[in-house]
Chain A
Amino acid sequence: MSASDFAEALSAFPTQSIVLVNSASASGPFVAVLSGANRIVVTATKSGSERNETLFARYFVEAFAADGADVDKDERVSVLEAYNYARREVTRYYEERGILLTEHALLDDNGDGVGSGEPDPEASDGAMARTLYLVGLPAAVAGDVPADPELAALYSEKQQLEEEIAALRQRKDEMDAVAYEQQLEELLVELTLTTRAIRELEEKT
């Protein structure tokens, strides 16, 4: 099937979130053709001229099965985490053998038809892939409000702390390093204690 064939087939799902991973050699041109809203397109190569057999699929699948891809330790591997894992492991494979890298993977999820080799959710691609998982999330992580009001409050507090940490990270480059570390530590301690409180409460119930 060509990229156009896929485009036609996928047009039947205009509102759903779609993840399409083409791990074949010479798969790069799929990005331009299939890029669109609510879509994550991953290809093993950056162009149609990278024709050697690819390793990307092996590591992309491994990301969901082995330890190491869940870099934010939320117990789930997002599409972005799996992509990053596969990309780095492919690169390492080639470097360790002293051979030239013949596949450069791409990810596109902002619909601009241009894939990113190293996605940056804040600047280019990756924002959607960071939040999309191939399996369902625990209810709390997915945003469902627990019935227990105390637990709900704790989850709300936790979420607020996570947002504050994310906001602090955004300001890192503008801040004094010592002040940044102090504020980060305070927020992380609060987050740790909140997480522990959640765990204790959940164990009781």
Chain B
Amino acid sequence: MTRVVALVLLHVAWLAIGPAAAPVFAQQELDAARSALRSGSYDEAISAYTRLARDGSSAEATRGLVKALAEVGRYDDAEAAARRFIAANSDSPEVWHSLGEVLVLQGERDEAEDAFERAIAGRASDSLVARLNLAILWYDRGDRSRAMDEFDRFIDVYNRGGDLSSAELTAVATAVRYLGVNDPQLYKDALRVYDEAIAADPGNLEPRVRVGELFLEKYVSEEAAAAFEDVLAINPSHPRALVGMARRMRFDGDSHATELLERSLEVNANFVPALTFRSELLLELENYEAAAGAAERALEVNPASLEALAALGATRYLQGNRRGYEEALGRALVLNPMYADFFNTLADLSARNRLYARAVEFAQRAVELDPESWRGYALLGINQLRTGDIDEGRANLEKGFRGNPYDVWTKNTLDLLDTFSEYDETQTRRFIFMIDGKESELLSIYFDGLADEAYDRLASRYGYQPSTPIRIEVYRSHADFSVRTVGLVGMGALGVSFGPVIAMDSPSAREVGDFNWGSTLWHELAHTFHLSMTEYRVPRWFSEGLAVYEERRARQGWGDDVSPSFLAALQQDRLLAVGVLNNGFARPTYPEQVIHSYYEASLVCELIEQEAGPQAITDMLEAYGQGMTTAEVFRNVLQTDVDDFSERFFDYMEERFAVPLAALRPDRQAARGDRPSRDDIARWATEDEGDFLAQLAYGHVLYEDGDLEAAVPYLEQAKALFPEYAGAGSAYWYLALIHRRRGSLEEAAAELEALTAINARDYGANLELAEVLEERGRLAGAAAALDRTVYIYPYDMALHARLADLYSRTGNHSGAVLERRAVIALDPVDRAEALYQLSRAYFRADDLANARRAVLSALEDAPNFEAAQDLLLEIRAAAGGGR
């Protein structure tokens, strides 16, 4: 009895609060659901919206549910939820737009169009947004003029004033953004209206995402990042913002792009932009099968995704699968006969895979298909510049810029092209050198000779001659080189080869000793050979490895050498297997991985040549040229599985570096920290004689203390433990200084010779060696050491004069001529004296014609220069000219 009474009372109580409190409660729950959706608590949002939409009468709840389900990729469920509402509320137009959006995501374009039209016809509360999406649908089908007319009407909507919601303002801004294709000034208006949309509802993430995407499209990385960061601060799981940020990171060369992309796919495994981007990233790793798989997966979700079809087409093309490429192209053009971005994507991805000539062809097709494809003109121009067609490249960039003046890449490149008038262009037998007028006279002296030597040696090695002329651009400003290469400042590389065009830093673009321009030029020319031989199909790891290997073969001490950091990575299993070495360049997972990968790849090439002979390298290049994958190349050319080879290669490294590997203590090193005390260093060095870094560090400490005698055994021990180490602060260097202070010049010379034989890039060591050898009367060695410094820093006039003198004294008269020419190129104050010295050098080299010309120039400046007058008479006498 008691229980019955209680139940009745409860029922009464519910009735008492029901009518007034239920709407309040529902609104609170709606707010909570909306809040959960905006913050990325998708499960919570879906649960809440499901409860709210259960009775089938709340359009708002249904729209929220559809949106929440769509954001996590449950498109079928989202569609079903929308259709349930529509079935139960046939008079209401309120969910048609939501249904249309889900249908678009699944590629059901006809049905989507019908749904948008119903929302508009029924004057649904979101009909303005439906109008936008309908127009976008037309645009994506190639019905451009109809779409643009509709976009244009949004300006009237805005200008009429009225109280537009945040979603409506976003729709207006997006329409204006589309109109920007014909009037770039409208991009600014679009941004302004997006800002209004954000102000109208700061919780609405859609306008923020679109701002990020707009900036990304214009290569304005910082602004794009800021917009996406704003979104992710509110909703860290927002799939579109995550993909946008990942794309931004890829644009900036940030290797963490993949992590964000995967986070996006964790939230929504069916998110087509993420799957498409994954395909592009895999393509950059030259992992064609996986790239195709990702694109096909995207097309399973949305068979009408033009972006996914473009990614699939690019993959098929790069795989050499012509039929697959044509199929993808055909499908895309059926969906949108004006879809120029298919070719733009092909052009972009081809260029990322170093197929610059193909990129030109694809971009050309893009602008033929759509003369308003400003991106197409930009891609065409950039890639024409890369293939050496400067005039056409500039013209197309200008076209692209007129249509899209907010494209930072294009603007930077055009600004750079404006500076080309300050450069001198000189054509030689094989090369066109473009060098800043301030230093072209000097650098041409050396670049021409070295480039010719490299060409001859590489041609002989590979039995192949790339077509000439090869254009070599040398930039005094690293920022200009960076813009030439990637359109933006901030790239870390020293040089790049586009095949027929090489761009690189000038030695004046870097601090003294930062790089060796000679080995960089050699490296890039090697790439030109590899790219040309393989029709640009050589994978990056192999080309980089070979180029470093060629540096080492060019001159003793050039190219990377083994470092403690590399060996520590080997010990800690952080070096990549040969089959995936490309990842070390394209997606490094720790800061030094790119550097390590260069050296590792060069060792792979070394081992291949050691095991299979030099012809194997050429055969491998030819096999890559036939379109084989790395696994196929190893199988067909080297008759080995790439993974087996990789195991053998790691054994080879273990054996080759057994001595220094045994002397490294990476784990202990990490525990020691960056600034150990003097006492700690002393203790470690005395406790463990096999610890390379402890021995070297204690040697340094004792040297700095001035206790040279005590320092020597530690430095000698460090040298014995790691004889290949000749980097900064090496034992060789300190021992040389000690020997020199002791007056033991031969010993000092021996240390410096050993150092520079491993590391010829050390400017200070070469200078020191030259001094020591000259003091010892070993003039040829001194000259060789000074010659090495010219490849590092060629701007020291006194050094050139000294080298010229050494060459003269050792009978190398052609060398002396070169160095005297360098002195004149450096614009000496006493030009007459420099010309006189040049004339003497020519005279000694039996080049009477140039000797006469130089001495006449000297006397033209200083007619009473008696030494030059005497030389003139000598030259005339030698030439049989009397007096």
Contacts and interface: CB of A to CB of B under 8 A. Distances in A.
A-B interaction = yes
B831 A188 contact: no
A32 B852 CA distance: 45
B675 interface: no
B229 to A, nearest CB: 36
A51 interface: no
A70 interface: yes
Given A74-B864, A165-B863, A185-B852, A191 B830 contact: no
Nearest to A141: B864
Interface string B381-402: 0000000000000000000000
Given A67-B830, A69-B830, A71-B862, A192 B869 contact: yes
Contact of A185 (B796, B856, B870): B856
Contacts of B876: 189
Interface string B833-876: 10000000000000000001100100111111110111011001
Pairs of residues from A and B, 9 with the lowest C-beta to C-beta distance, nearest first: A73-B865, A192-B869, A73-B862, A68-B830, A72-B862, A85-B829, A88-B829, A188-B859, A165-B863
A169 to B, nearest CB: 7
A18 interface: no
B869 A71 contact: no
Contacts of A88: 827, 829
Given A96-B795, A189-B873, A195 B864 contact: yes
A73 B829 contact: no
A185 B856 CA distance: 7
B436 to A, nearest CB: 12
Interface of B: 508, 511, 795-796, 827-833, 852-853, 856, 859-866, 868-870, 872-873, 876, 883
Contacts of B796: 96
Interface string A40-80: 00000000000000000000000000011111111000000
A195 B861 contact: no
A192 B870 contact: yes
A195 to B, nearest CB: 6
Nearest to A165: B863
B873 A181 contact: no
B801 to A, nearest CB: 11
26 contacts: A67-B830, A67-B833, A68-B833, A70-B830, A71-B861, A72-B864, A73-B832, A73-B833, A73-B862, A73-B868, A74-B862, A88-B827, A96-B796, A162-B864, A169-B860, A181-B853, A181-B856, A184-B856, A184-B860, A185-B856, A188-B863, A188-B869, A189-B883, A191-B869, A192-B869, A192-B873
B461 to A, nearest CB: 37
Contacts of A201: none
B834 to A, nearest CB: 10
A169 B872 CA distance: 18
A73 B863 CA distance: 8
Given A96-B796, A192-B870, 10 more contacts: A67-B830, A68-B828, A69-B829, A73-B832, A73-B833, A74-B864, A161-B863, A169-B860, A188-B863, A189-B873
A180 to B, nearest CB: 9
A135 to B, nearest CB: 18
A109 B717 CA distance: 68
A7 interface: no
Contacts of A37: none
Contacts of B856: 181, 184-185, 188
B84 to A, nearest CB: 71
A99 to B, nearest CB: 12
A193 interface: yes
Contacts of A70: 830
Contacts of B866: 73, 195
B864 to A, nearest CB: 5
A193 B876 CA distance: 13
Interface residues of A, number: 28
Given A185-B856, A192-B873, A193-B883, A72 B861 contact: yes
Contacts of A67: 830, 833
A96 B794 CA distance: 11
Contacts of A85: 829
Nearest to B869: A192
Nearest to A75: B864
Contacts of A195: 864, 866, 869
A184 B832 CA distance: 15
Residue of B828, B859, B863, B870 with most partner-chain A CB within 10 A: B863
A84 B827 CA distance: 12
B829 A89 contact: yes
B341 to A, nearest CB: 44
A167 to B, nearest CB: 12
A161 B866 CA distance: 15
Nearest to A169: B860
Given A72-B861, A165-B863, A184-B856, A192 B829 contact: no
Contacts of A188: 856, 859, 863, 869, 872
Interface in A154-205: 161-162, 165, 169, 181, 184-185, 188-189, 191-193, 195
Contacts of B859: 184, 188
B784 to A, nearest CB: 24
A68 B801 CA distance: 14
Interface string A86-108: 00110000011010000000000
A111 B134 CA distance: 77
Nearest to B793: A96
Contacts of B853: 181
A95 B506 CA distance: 14
Contacts of A95: 795
A59 to B, nearest CB: 9
Nearest to B833: A68
Contacts of A162: 863-864
Contacts of B863: 72, 161-162, 165, 188, 191
A94 to B, nearest CB: 13
A43 to B, nearest CB: 20
* Among B831, B853, B856, B859, residue most surrounded by chain A Cβ atoms (within 10 Å): B859
B795 A71 contact: no
B872 A192 contact: yes
A198 B633 CA distance: 81
Contacts of B830: 67-71
Nearest to A192: B869
Nearest to A184: B856
A185 B829 contact: no
Interface centre among A184, A185, A192 (most CB of B within 10 A): A192
Contacts of B795: 95-96
A181 B854 CA distance: 11
Contacts of B832: 71-73
A162 to B, nearest CB: 6
Contacts of B870: 192
Contacts of B872: 185, 188-189, 192
Contacts of B865: 72-73
A84 B829 CA distance: 8
Contacts of A169: 860
A185 B853 CA distance: 10
Most buried by B among A84, A162, A189: A189
A63 B829 CA distance: 10
A169 B863 CA distance: 11
A73 B876 CA distance: 22
Nearest to B508: A98
Contacts of B860: 165, 169, 184
Contacts of A181: 853, 856
Contacts of A84: 829
A181 B881 CA distance: 15
A71 B864 contact: no
Contacts of A185: 852, 856, 872
B789 to A, nearest CB: 14
A8 B250 CA distance: 69
Contacts of B869: 188, 191-192, 195
A68 B508 CA distance: 25
A7 to B, nearest CB: 32
